[in-house]
Amino acid sequence: MPKAAFVDVQTGTKIFTVKGIAEFGRLQGNRLVYSLAGAPNAYDLDCNVSLWHSDVPSFGPAVLFGGRWIALSADTGNVDGNTGKAVQRLADVKVGYYDFMPARFMSGYLVPDNGKLYIGSSNGFFGCVSKLP
């Protein structure tokens, strides 16, 4: 099984390693949220401990919106930012073109900005969410 190392790019110091393919990291304070084997995970960089692993599948980076991490998936699921537990899915939101788009092209389809979550798609859909239910 492959391993992924998380490295401080300024110092070159290895922070931690995980088994599997890790990608799409995002920082929120001292917390790193990243995708591991296609699911969001969180790691506390100050305490050097894994905080949670979510069962919500994701096709790209998760973004923080309304206190939840929104992950690209067939159902555009979202997880509690503190526990990683699935909360709900955004109804009627499909992101991307699943028959064609590789996972690494999904970056940028979810963009939180100025209190709103903008959702794009390669097949013409565009949405904007201002508040989570």
> Please, which residues bridge with residue 40 across strands?
35
Say whether pLDDT at 6 is over 60.
yes
Which domain does 8 fall in, by range?
A: 3-129
List, for residues 67-97, the tens digit of each pLDDT value.
Answer: 777 766 655 566 777 888 877 766 655 555 5
The CATH number covering residue 41 comes to: 2.130.10.10
Task: Give the pLDDT confidence score for residue 99 in this predicted structure.
Answer: 42
**What is the total count of domains within the chain?**
1
Q: Which residue has the higher pLDDT, 79 or 34?
A: 34
Q: What is the DSSP letter of 65?
A: E
What's the chain's Rg over C-alpha atoms?
A: 15
CB-count exposure of residue 78 (10 Å: 0-12, 13-18, 19+): buried
pLDDT confidence of 49, banded at 50, 70, 90?
A: very high
